[in-house]
């Protein structure tokens, strides 16, 4: 049963009608006391609660009710309804344990999606605290591309298998190279939207001026260079999943626009006044600390709460040394297949690899294995092979050693491309540092990735 709490009878009536039509049982309450009575009777699976009831606009009473519900019925999810102006209140509510919030005026679709997601997540909560084994996980979902048995990783995969089928927004955090893209893919592959589009957008690579056109599309003539219609990323992702990578790099103007589409699931194509609606599941990722960015004012708190219903944190490789041999063998196998030869790594080398700090995480390990396989012709790779290859991975602070190629041997484009690739290796794919080293903005760097077909 879903309990709808609002002192405005027109709201409770219309919501309970909507929910009944969607197949849910409902009850309504006009005050906090009435709501608590319903909860005490039991059988309540979800509460849809107005924050500003009793004509009190401070939201105090709503907040108290929420706190009491969370204290006494912690497992019952609460969705808050707040007025547009009181986002601050919704954010406080989320901190106090609310599952989600919808702002007034809402659409029926929004309410139903929020209810479905909250109920789905509640049903997916594990009943035991026992850590699941890798074997069990592999039975539950498709995690074939994700190697590892580290407890922190298994915990992440367990949450992935639980939340993948829901439409809940997921934020993936972790240092560069820890596998955020892989996890986003796994969420998609194990979701009910797996046959629909998966659209990845690198928000660090989109300049503020191009944001609208890139994300929402434009019609021919919308601005000087708009020679033909362009389909935006949200339209491409409609019905499927959108993966917002490097979300911490999004400029404030983009944050507002993104908030609107995530909140209302509507947007306008540039140059057209028609409002379109979109149905997407949102996955985002960042290697930055969004809470810190919120504190410093660089990231909107309300946007954060739209993204982080579920947070998955990937540990750095140095915190999961047990997985290093598994990963190393996995990458060696890949290299063996690519170069059509037999390839193994000896035991001493595997232990030695476990002692390295891996600032570039799994990406760096993969590059090292591939480079070593290229440089050494032996069938069994040993510590010497790896340390030789590692010393070729340019150290930081080392001055540019190679002379410029002889005139006529390389075009400027080729030179530029190879410089970018070298910088990517030196800084283990850390985009900010690569951009800095090349004297480019991040956006300019991403444009060059696209131009030269380099995968960041
Ligand atoms: N658990 C894993 N098992 C095997 N390969 C992995 C794993 N995690 C990451 N990788 C590989 O490491 C590289 C970097 O991973 P990626 O997901 O792009 O990291 P991030 O997005 O966090 O920078 C990719 O080549 C990816 O395929
Ligand atoms: Mg990534």
Residue 55: per-residue pLDDT? 55
Residue in this structure with the two tokens 């000087």, named with its chain if needed = 224
CB 51, CB 86: distance < 8 Å: yes
Give distance in angstroms: CA of 174 to centre of ligand 1: 11
Find tokens 């794919």 and name the residue. 429
Whether the per-residue pLDDT at 391 is higher than 80: the answer is: yes
Tokens of 347: 């035991």
Residue 452 is predicted with a pLDDT of 84
Instruction: With residue 307 as reference, give the H or E element that holds it.
Output: helix 301-307
How far is it, in rounded angstroms, from Cα 208 to Cα 381? 48
Alpha helices in 315-441 (DSSP H): 323-339, 347-354, 361-375, 383-392, 412-426, 431-438
Alpha carbon of 205 to ligand 2 centroid (Å): 13
Q: Specify the residue with its C-alpha closest to ligand 1, atom 25.
A: 363
* CA neighbours closer than 13 Å in the CB half-sphere of residue 273: 0
Mean residue pLDDT across the chain: 89
Task: Give residue 395's pLDDT.
Answer: 46
Helix (H, G, I), strand (E, B) or coil at 246: coil
At 385, list the tokens: 């092979």
Cα-based distances in Å from 189 to 156, 160, 192, 197, 374: 15, 10, 8, 11, 32
**Pairing state between β 266-268 and 275-277:** antiparallel
Residue 399 has pLDDT above 60, yes or no: no
Compute the average pLDDT of residues 443-451.
88
- C-alpha 445/C-alpha 456 separation (Å) is 10
pLDDT of residue 128: 59
Give the pLDDT band of residue 403 (cuts 50, 70, 90). Answer: low
Q: Compute how many other C-beta atoms are within 10 angstroms of the C-beta atom of residue 121.
A: 19
**Which residues have C-beta within 8 Å of that of residue 280, sequence separation ≥ 6?**
234, 237, 238, 239, 240, 241, 242, 265
* Position 57 pLDDT exceeds 70: no
Q: What is the pLDDT of residues 91-140, one digit of tens each?
A: 788 888 888 888 878 888 889 989 998 998 888 766 556 678 899 889 88
Closest C-alpha residue for ligand 1 atom 2: 146
Tell me how crowded residue 423 is: count the other CB atoms within 10 A of its CB.
Answer: 20
Helix or strand holding residue 231 (H, E): strand 230-231
Of the listed ranges 222-236, 270-284, 397-411, 428-442, the least confidently predicted one is 397-411
Q: Can you give the pLDDT at residue 396?
A: 40
CA angle 375, 371, 388 (to 5 degrees): 60
Among all bound ligands, the one having the nearest atom to the CA of 430 is 1
pLDDT band at 411 (very low <50, low <70, confident <90, very high): confident
Ligand 1 pocket, CB under 6 A = 146-148, 174, 176-182, 327, 330, 362-363, 366
Nearest residue to 171 (alpha-carbon basis) of 280, 314, 75? 314
Element (H, E) at 116: helix 108-123
Q: Going by CA atoms, what residue is nearest to atom 10 of ligand 1?
A: 179
If you take atom 26 of ligand 1, which residue's CA is the nearest one? 179
* Res. 394: pLDDT tops 70: no
Mean predicted confidence (pLDDT) in 363-382 = 93
Residue 52 confidence (pLDDT) above 90: no
pLDDT at 54 over 70: no
Q: How far is the CA of 177 from the centre of ligand 1 (A)?
A: 6
Assigned token pair, 289: 């600390």
Q: How confident is the model at residue 412 (pLDDT cuts 50, 70, 90)?
A: confident
Residue that has been written with the tokens 């050693």 in this structure: 401
Does residue 401 surpass a pLDDT of 50?
no
Residue whose CA lies nearest to ligand 1 atom number 15: 179
Q: Check residue 195 and give its pLDDT.
A: 96
pTM: 0.76
State the Cα–Cα distance between residues 48 and 187, nearest whole angstrom. Answer: 27
Mutate to test the pocket of ligand 1, among 149, 153, 182 (most ligand atoms within 8 A of CB): 182
Minimum mean pLDDT among 122-126, 199-203, 434-438: which range?
Answer: 122-126
Count other Cβ atoms within 10 Å, centred on residue 361. 23
In order of their start, the domains of the chain are 2-123 (3.40.50.2300), 147-313 (3.40.50.300), 317-392 (1.10.8.60), 412-452 (1.10.10)
Cβ-proximal residues to 412 (8 Å cutoff; 6+ apart), any chain: none
* Contacts for 241 with CB less than 8 Å, ≥ 6 apart: 187, 188, 191, 193, 196, 197, 198, 199, 280, 281, 282, 283
Torsion of CA 125, 126, 128, 131, to 10 degrees: -130
Q: What is the mean pLDDT of residues 324-343?
A: 93
End-to-end CA distance of the chain: 48
* 181 Cα: distance to centroid of ligand 2 (angstroms): 5
Read off the pLDDT of residues 261-320 as tens digits, 9 standing for 90 and up.
998 889 999 999 899 999 999 999 999 999 999 999 999 999 999 999 889 999 999 999
């Amino acid at each position: 049963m879903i309990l709808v709490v609002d002192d405005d009878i027109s709201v409770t009536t219309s919501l309970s009608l909507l929910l009944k039509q969607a197949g849910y049982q409902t009850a309504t309450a006009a005050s906090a006391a009435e709501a608590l009575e319903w909860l005490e009777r039991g059988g309540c699976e979800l509460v849809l609660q107005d924050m500003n009831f009793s004509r009190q606009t401070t939201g105090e009473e709503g907040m108290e009710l929420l706190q009491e519900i969370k204290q006494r019925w912690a497992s019952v999810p609460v969705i808050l309804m707040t007025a547009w102006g009181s986002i601050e209140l919704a954010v406080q509510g989320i901190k106090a344990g609310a599952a989600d919030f919808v702002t007034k005026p809402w659409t029926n679709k929004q309410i139903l999606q929020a209810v479905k997601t909250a109920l789905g997540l509640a049903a997916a909560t594990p009943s035991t605290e026992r850590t699941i084994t890798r074997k069990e996980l592999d039975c539950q979902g498709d995690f074939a591309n994700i190697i590892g048995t580290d407890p922190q990783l298994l915990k992440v995969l367990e949450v992935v298998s639980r939340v993948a089928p829901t439409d809940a927004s997921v934020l993936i955090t972790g240092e560069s190279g820890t596998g955020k893209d892989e996890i986003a893919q796994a969420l998609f592959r194990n979701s009910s939207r797996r046959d629909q589009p998966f659209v990845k957008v690198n928000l660090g690579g989109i300049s503020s001026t191009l944001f609208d056109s890139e994300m929402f599309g434009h019609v021919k003539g919308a601005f000087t260079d708009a020679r033909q219609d362009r389909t935006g990323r949200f339209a491409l992702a409609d019905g499927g999943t959108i993966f917002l990578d490097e979300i911490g790099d999004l400029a404030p103007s983009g944050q507002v626009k993104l908030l609107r589409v995530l909140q209302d699931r509507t947007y306008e194509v540039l140059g057209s006044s028609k409002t379109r609606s979109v149905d997407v599941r949102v996955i985002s990722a960042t290697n930055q600390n969004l809470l810190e960015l919120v504190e410093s004012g660089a990231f909107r708190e309300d946007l954060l709460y739209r993204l982080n219903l579920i947070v998955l944190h990937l540990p750095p490789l140095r915190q999961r040394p047990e997985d290093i041999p598994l990963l190393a063998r996995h990458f060696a196998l890949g290299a063996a297949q690519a170069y059509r030869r037999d390839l193994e790594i000896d035991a001493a080398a595997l232990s030695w690899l476990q002692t390295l700090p891996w600032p570039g995480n799994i990406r760096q390990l993969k590059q090292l294995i591939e480079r070593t396989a290229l440089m050494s012709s032996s069938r069994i790779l040993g510590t010497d092979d790896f340390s030789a290859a590692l010393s070729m991975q340019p150290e930081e602070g080392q001055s540019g050693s190679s002379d410029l190629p002889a005139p006529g041997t390389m075009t400027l484009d080729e030179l530029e491309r190879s410089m970018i690739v070298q910088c990517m290796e030196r800084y283990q794919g850390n985009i900010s540092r690569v951009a800095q080293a090349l004297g480019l903005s991040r956006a300019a760097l991403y444009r060059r990735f696209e131009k030269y077909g380099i995968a960041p």
